[in-house]
Amino acid sequence: MSYPDYSSQGWQNITVSLDSPVAIVKLNRAKQRNTFTNGLEQDLVAAYELLDLDDRVHVIILTADHTAPAYCSGAELNSGWGSIYSKEDELHGRHTHRDAGGKVTLAIFRCRKITIAAVNGHAVGVGITGLQLPCDFRFVWAGAKLALPFVRRGIAAEAASGYLLPRLLGYSRAVALLLTGGTYSPDSPLLQGLYYATFPNREDVLPAALAFSHELAANTSQTSIAWSKALLWRGADSIEGQHILDSRGIADLVSRGDAAEGAKAFKERRSVKFTDKVSKDLSDFVPWWTELDVRQRKTKL
Amino acid sequence: MSYPDYSSQGWQNITVSLDSPVAIVKLNRAKQRNTFTNGLEQDLVAAYELLDLDDRVHVIILTADHTAPAYCSGAELNSGWGSIYSKEDELHGRHTHRDAGGKVTLAIFRCRKITIAAVNGHAVGVGITGLQLPCDFRFVWAGAKLALPFVRRGIAAEAASGYLLPRLLGYSRAVALLLTGGTYSPDSPLLQGLYYATFPNREDVLPAALAFSHELAANTSQTSIAWSKALLWRGADSIEGQHILDSRGIADLVSRGDAAEGAKAFKERRSVKFTDKVSKDLSDFVPWWTELDVRQRKTKL
Amino acid sequence: MSYPDYSSQGWQNITVSLDSPVAIVKLNRAKQRNTFTNGLEQDLVAAYELLDLDDRVHVIILTADHTAPAYCSGAELNSGWGSIYSKEDELHGRHTHRDAGGKVTLAIFRCRKITIAAVNGHAVGVGITGLQLPCDFRFVWAGAKLALPFVRRGIAAEAASGYLLPRLLGYSRAVALLLTGGTYSPDSPLLQGLYYATFPNREDVLPAALAFSHELAANTSQTSIAWSKALLWRGADSIEGQHILDSRGIADLVSRGDAAEGAKAFKERRSVKFTDKVSKDLSDFVPWWTELDVRQRKTKL
């Protein structure tokens, strides 16, 4: 297998660098306060799709330049809302439009690696819903101003935030965050539980996320991570169903190299050396769920 | 469109007053500790159905007289449990009974406006499940004694609390609250996240809720609120489905006046002046879900 | 009805004693750090099935010897992963394996009595997922080291933890706990809300759980508890459906002895004396849900 060269993909809105086995995706629109555009969406979706398939990569950090005015200050509104539409939207009808923030949410959500947002600046709207909520972990600067101001702009909970936010934090907090549209600090009671770690200085967020990533990459199994994410987010809708699913997972995993190595290292009281890869050691049983094809314009609920 | 006169509806158990665009629904059974009866249920259901349709109304506060013995001290038990049955129940069979608390829960839950409970006194049973849980926000007096004592009375989690409580607070807390049936203060760890704001004095709860309501009413879009509530509570059961739903929402909303005004006001760094109304500017796409007809006596699961 | 004698069941891995109406299930593998084996699974499943049917029992506490090295230090790994398979697994194919931890989870989860885990020592893996998460309440020693290290051993979220953990604590915390596989204290922000009570000394956990159990047993209705647990965990997937379910519950319960006694005791301001039993006073309407037959080897999702 040959691996992609992330420096030659022609992405204008992001840079992707490898600190193997950790990949860093950095927003590259500091002069525009890292506002969100269709171009940024396309670069991010392409990058996460490649990184998901790249066996060198175990953890993916999404971040911004810590000297930028913001981690992401929301959708680019300079040309008004009309700029959300693509040529395809006009061809098939605007009601078939697919929200750009949601496309990024799905690309990160579907990624089978560990995903982290290193939020080293202010974040607004899709800068939270698309660029934080779908990640497995969120690291944040204590001084970040965080807002989901959709109801104050005349729009609504986008980027699948109506799905993710109540699941991450419970409905009581999710409703309050979305219906006030207010600006909150990471230490707000409404955000309790959302951030894994908070840092007083902007420049410390990414290094901490990197150290955390390398520890996880060294000591966790890629296939275990992929299975665990699937069991959590694509689980059965009954506890009996979940038991059947994870039984299948255990039966598959214990037949592989990483589980043998895990048990051996545990017995020998030494660090693990996992080698199983998502590309070839993940059971054909995964995925067991069927996904709606959101790219197909005719797909409805 | 002519608007209802809330003072001439003949309601005995509540008063409804308009501090436009905020409506205040006040329980009017202070002498009976604001206990819950079928009469109170009928008045509340009628009021929320009217308020939902009234374009003058953006926010609805439910409260009690702060000098009353309680915000609501639970179901009226003076004549025993027999009083829960209506003539219709006897006609169609008691197994077709529909819980009165649940009717209020549904009326508030379905309301497309911002709903707030200003809990300026003690609250027991349906005084929490029917008169707090379905609201978007809960303001509370710090001294309130709060109890869900169903298991200590020989009954069970009513008013759809088995649905709402675990979603609002997570199952760990919901199970503990309902299975102990204990009495808790607003600062109990078990209630963490349920109340948006807490106040040391009973008389301060409603004024604070009013100020909050007027700020929200002035700065949020009615249609954005209705869409956001629907996306949160009537969302898809997969993240892909949610992406399709909220894409449809964004495409609809950006074609309306409020989104244009939202973007314009943002650019001009001024306050918004939203004018879209739920009665005429909410997409025909809403509701996209099908509701069980709970009034039909034959409806089963 | 004759009741089982819990001392003559031939269980090697647990002891079950009755402090009526509270039953104490104690892990009996202190010398093996209470590691989890197929034998322990079989004893626990048998015990919870008997206790569920025993009308003398209102509350069930699961605990360990507080002088044992651990409450449960996870799966027994001495003979490697191969030991998870039974003769039946080999006969029907390993893909039909049913995870032993999940069998215990289901046995406790399905129990209609109040279930408590008195975690008076360290707990790892299935010592949390199978022996804590399915319980209604968790009491814990403040010094307990708690870990879900599946991804560090090459396996994945088992014992239906992918179902229970996000529902108990929300997805943000559940994902962090399972994907780090780290070791946490009961006071970790990631575990907030999971434990009902925490105690500085190991020897105090069980006595506190016992006192709590006797208070609940004296003052709550067995049938109310069974209904409440079912309404919480087997509720409808819409709020309207939940209203129909709990209306049926209320209509049934108010026709029984416990509800009459509950209202009477409330009026007379005295303690309750509930007598309804799960074996004969629980409505035929329960269960209203259909469970996947996980024992049937061919059952798939």
Distances (CA, A) of C193 to A301, C138, C190: 35, 10, 9
CB pairs under 8 A between A and C: 180
Distances (CA, A) of B172 to A9, B165, B168, B177, C106: 47, 10, 11, 9, 17
Give yes or no for a contact between A39 and A91, defined as CB atoms under 8 angstroms apart.
no
| pLDDT average, residue stretch C226-247 | 98
- On the question of pLDDT at B301 being above 90, the answer is no
State pLDDT tens for residues B128-137: 999 999 999 9
State pLDDT tens for residues C198-231: 999 999 999 999 999 999 999 999 999 999 999 9
B neighbours by CB contacts (3+ pairs under 8 Å): A, C
| Residue B56 C-alpha, separation from nearest chain A C-alpha, in angstroms | 18
DSSP 3-state of A290: coil
| Residue A92 C-alpha, separation from nearest chain C C-alpha, in angstroms | 33
Q: State residue B297's pLDDT score.
A: 83
Total residues belonging to chain C: 301
Residues 148-177 of B with CB under 8 A from A: 164, 167-170
What topology does CATH give the domain B221-281? Lyase 2-enoyl-coa Hydratase; Chain  A, domain 2 (1.10.12)
Q: Tell me which of C81, C97, C295, C299 to substitute to probe the interface with A (most A C-beta atoms closer than 10 Å).
A: C81
Amino acid at B28: N
Residues 56-115 of A with CB under 8 A from C: 114
Token pair, residue B257, equals 């006046």
Other beta carbons within 10 angstroms of residue C184's beta carbon come to 17
Nearest to A233 by CA among A271, A287, A175, A298: A287
C173 CB neighbours in chain A (<8 A) are 193
| CA gap A194, A197 in Å, rounded | 9
**Mean pLDDT, rounded, of chain C:** 96
Distances (CA, A) of C279 to B180, C110, C113, C228: 22, 15, 11, 16
Which position has the token pair 């994902």? C175
Token pair, residue C130, equals 């199978």
Asked if C192 reaches chain A (Cβ–Cβ under 8 Å), the answer is yes
| Residue C167 C-alpha, separation from nearest chain B C-alpha, in angstroms | 6
Residue B21, preceding peptide bond in cis (omega within 30° of 0) = yes
Nearest to B44 by CA among B60, B67, B21, B66: B60
Q: Do B151 and C196 touch (CB under 8 A)?
A: no
Q: State residue A147's pLDDT score.
A: 98
Asked if A137 reaches chain C (Cβ–Cβ under 8 Å), the answer is yes
| CA gap A55, C227 in Å, rounded | 49
For the full predicted model, state whether its pTM sits above 0.95.
Answer: yes
- On the question of pLDDT at A243 being above 80, the answer is yes
Q: Do A244 and C98 touch (CB under 8 A)?
A: yes
Q: Do B262 and A154 touch (CB under 8 A)?
A: yes
A267 CB neighbours in chain C (<8 A) are 77-78
- On the question of pLDDT at B196 being above 90, the answer is yes
Q: Tell me which of A81, A173, A188 to substitute to probe the interface with B (most B C-beta atoms closer than 10 Å).
A: A81
Amino acid at B231: L
Burial of B10 (0-12, 13-18, 19+ CB in 10 A): exposed
Asked if B260 reaches chain A (Cβ–Cβ under 8 Å), the answer is yes
Asked if B277 reaches chain A (Cβ–Cβ under 8 Å), the answer is no
List chain C domain ranges. 6-218, 221-281
The separation between the first and the last C-alpha atoms of chain B, rounded to the nearest angstrom, is 38
Distances (CA, A) of B246 to A97, A158, A178, B210, C12: 10, 6, 14, 30, 56
Q: State residue B86's pLDDT score.
A: 85
Closest-CA residue in chain B for A289?
A: B238
A246 CB neighbours in chain C (<8 A) are 99, 102, 156-162
Q: State residue C78's pLDDT score.
A: 84
| Residue C262 C-alpha, separation from nearest chain B C-alpha, in angstroms | 4
* Eight-class DSSP state of A210: H
- Dihedrals phi, psi of B140, to nearest 5 degrees: -145, 150
Q: State residue A164's pLDDT score.
A: 98
Percent residues over pLDDT 90 in chain C? 90
C192 CB neighbours in chain A (<8 A) are 192-193
Grade residue C87 by pLDDT with cuts at 50, 70 and 90: confident
Amino acid at C290: T
| CA gap A236, A244 in Å, rounded | 9
Asked if B235 reaches chain A (Cβ–Cβ under 8 Å), the answer is yes
| Residue C93 C-alpha, separation from nearest chain A C-alpha, in angstroms | 10
State pLDDT tens for residues A49-98: 999 999 999 999 999 999 999 999 999 988 888 888 888 888 998 889 99
Task: Dump the DSSP string for C1-30.
Answer: -PPP-GGGS--SSEEEEEETTEEEEEE--G
Domains A6-218 and A221-281 share a fold: no
Nearest to C34 by CA among C99, C120, C116, C109: C120
Which helix (H) or strand (E) segment is B60 a member of? strand B59-63
C296 CB neighbours in chain A (<8 A) are none
| CA gap B44, B39 in Å, rounded | 9
Q: State residue B232's pLDDT score.
A: 98
Grade residue C1 by pLDDT with cuts at 50, 70 and 90: low
C-alpha dihedral sign at A232, A237, A238, A242: negative
Asked if C247 reaches chain B (Cβ–Cβ under 8 Å), the answer is yes
Helices (H), C143-221: 161-169, 171-180, 205-219
| pLDDT average, residue stretch C81-107 | 91
| CA gap A146, A182 in Å, rounded | 8
Of C97, C165, C173, the CB nearest to A247: C97
| CA gap A186, A143 in Å, rounded | 8
| CA gap A197, A268 in Å, rounded | 32
CB pairs under 8 A between B and C: 181
Amino acid at B79: S
Higher-confidence residue: C77 or A5? A5
| Residue A286 C-alpha, separation from nearest chain B C-alpha, in angstroms | 17
The CATH number assigned to the domain with range B6-218 reads 3.90.226.10
Q: State residue B1's pLDDT score.
A: 60
Q: Do C175 and A229 touch (CB under 8 A)?
A: yes
Which helix (H) or strand (E) segment is A15 a member of? strand A14-19
* Eight-class DSSP state of B4: P
Residue B33 falls in which region: left (phi positive, over 0), alpha (psi -120 to 50) or beta: left
The separation between the first and the last C-alpha atoms of chain A, rounded to the nearest angstrom, is 38
Closest-CA residue in chain C for A212?
A: C180
Pairing, β A137-141 against β A114-119:
parallel
| pLDDT average, residue stretch A94-111 | 96
Of B97, B162, B176, the CB nearest to C251: B97
